[in-house]
A and B are shown apart, each in its own frame.
Chain A
Amino acid sequence: GENVEQHPSTLSVQEGDSAVIKCTYSDSASNYFPWYKQELGKGPQLIIDIRSNVGEKKDQRIAVTLNKTAKHFSLHITETQPEDSAVYFCAASIWDMRFGAGTRLTVKP
């Protein structure tokens, strides 16, 4: 089955800096790669996703890149703000979703 690895497990950046979270997946048939943000006391919320026929997608300060050959994808957050602090999960999906272990991002003001 699909196995998703996510790094780093914790990430601390200064406000205004960029943050990058990386994930690898094992099943080359995976075709959908969402990123979720989980804030305290809430469930994961989708922030951006990418499909396997696209190499990069951007939405304001958030971007995701996908390298199908290497089977890895990354989340990039630019100009980080304290409200970006949360746990971020990557996932890979064919039919059902397999998640990474999460990255706790702290943005220091």
Chain B
Amino acid sequence: EAGVTQFPSHSVIEKGQTVTLRCDPISGHDNLYWYRRVMGKEIKFLLHFVKESKQDESGMPNNRFLAERTGGTYSTLKVQPAELEDSGVYFCASSPTEGGNEQFFGPGTRLTVL
């Protein structure tokens, strides 16, 4: 079974540019989560999809961040315009509706805003 995949693995952009991160969850997982880790700090929750619906987006830092999950399969997280403080590693995780709380994480996308 393929795990959670994320693309790209690294992205370096300049302040003011736009970046779109993609996450492909494990097939059949209805729950999809986005997290971010700024260097040396905790992994912070951004938002949670159940299928195509946003269940909880309380962790989204501001309106420069837009997450979508059209069709309830893969998800994108767009940052527009990017700021220096957006640098960090963005993780995606997925979990099935049934079977407990375990979340399966992707390898992350390292975003550097210069």
Binding site for B on A (CB under 8 A): 1, 4, 6, 32, 34, 36, 41-46, 49, 89, 91, 93, 95-102
Contact = CB atoms under 8 A, between A and B. Distances in A.
Contact of B91 (A32, A43, A95): A43
Contact of A89 (B40, B43, B48, B93): B43
Interface of B: 4, 6, 33, 35, 40-45, 48, 56, 58, 91, 93, 100-108
- Nearest 7 CB-CB pairings of A with B: A43-B105, A99-B43, A101-B42, A32-B101, A43-B107, A44-B105, A99-B42
Contacts of B104: 46
- Summarize A's interface: helix, strand, loop or mixed: strand
Contacts, number: 54
Given A43-B4, A43-B106, A97-B33, A34 B101 contact: yes
A43 B45 contact: no
Which of A91, A97, A102 counts the most chain B CB atoms within 10 A?
Answer: A97
